[in-house]
Amino acid sequence: MYEEISRNKRNSFILVAVFIAGVILLGYILGEAAGFGPIAVVFAFIFAAVFALTGYFKGDKIVLAVSRAKPAAREQYPQLYNVTEELTIASGLPMPALYVIPDDNAPNAFATGRDPAHSSIAVTTALLNRLNRAELQGVLAHELSHVGDYDILFATLIGILVGTVAMLSDFFLRYMFWTGGGRRRSRSSSNSSSGGGGIIMVVAIILAILAPLFALIIQLAVSRQREYLADANAALMTRYPEGLASALEKISRSPGEMKAANRATEHLYIVSPIKNLRDREQKKKSLFSTHPPVADRIRRLREMAGENGQLAAT
């Protein structure tokens, strides 16, 4: 288990490094094709840096605001506080800020922030109303696992990188469409270099179209991997995998859809908050799913447990 955690963290850092290198390469190729030259790489760096700094320092506030989350009062939600405090004591993590999303139709939850000392967990009112204590404990342990593994920061950074790739590609395609940059570049090139310029142009257009798609697939694949890991960590934290397994069953079978959910924040939730995507994920694995199939997650949790649902002694 702990070897898997270390391997996933190491692979995550490698992925971010490769992704950043890809953004630089994309900026260079698109800049050459559009006639901007190396300055396009500088623009890509500045563009990414602004979004990265905003995401790092304010990303959690933005996500909570978009999700319509409100600070949870201890007097109104005592069980939420009690269970979270028990888990933080058991895990050694600091107490996160707790939020409630006023949604009585869709039970769900997510964690956000940049590190354990600056983290928040948000749950819907439907989750609090429909889950028993053991199930709520499993969900909160899952979210605290994301906090402890710094998944919350990684999700923000990878989202920013994906957004940067998409926006750079969109800018290039719009520039070439509205200014005819490719035609002007071709006319100003010599005959000996026009062939090379044409190849760069074709490659740039293909990359501009496909890069956001590949970036999204990588983002979703990493999100799925980390959901499995958070489930396993939650089972270790609570010593009761059945609690989370039962919670996942209730959440996935809920017919409701969150009104405040969207594709930008979907990967943060414990189960996809968008009903048609959640239904699709339950049927089969997909490259475009932000979460692994719930049935697989439940199966893995129950395989970890003994006959009474308790985690087998190690």
Distance CA 270, CA 292 (A): 10
**Alpha-carbon distance values, 59 to 52, 120, 273, 281 (Å):** 9, 11, 19, 27
Written as one letter, the residue type at 299 is R
> Is 86 annotated in the active site?
no
Could you report how far apart the first and last alpha carbons of the chain are, in Å?
Answer: 11
- Asked if 267 contacts 223 with a C-beta cutoff of 8 angstroms, the reply is yes
Annotated catalytic residue within 4, 32, 75, 143: 143
What is the token pair recorded at 66? 């978009």
Q: 59-66: long-range contacts (C-beta < 8 A, 24 or more apart)?
A: 59/112, 59/114, 59/156, 60/112, 60/113, 60/114, 60/118, 60/119, 60/120, 60/152, 60/156, 63/110, 63/112, 63/265, 63/268, 64/99, 64/112, 64/120, 64/122, 66/260, 66/262, 66/264, 66/265
Q: Tell me the catalytic residues.
A: 143
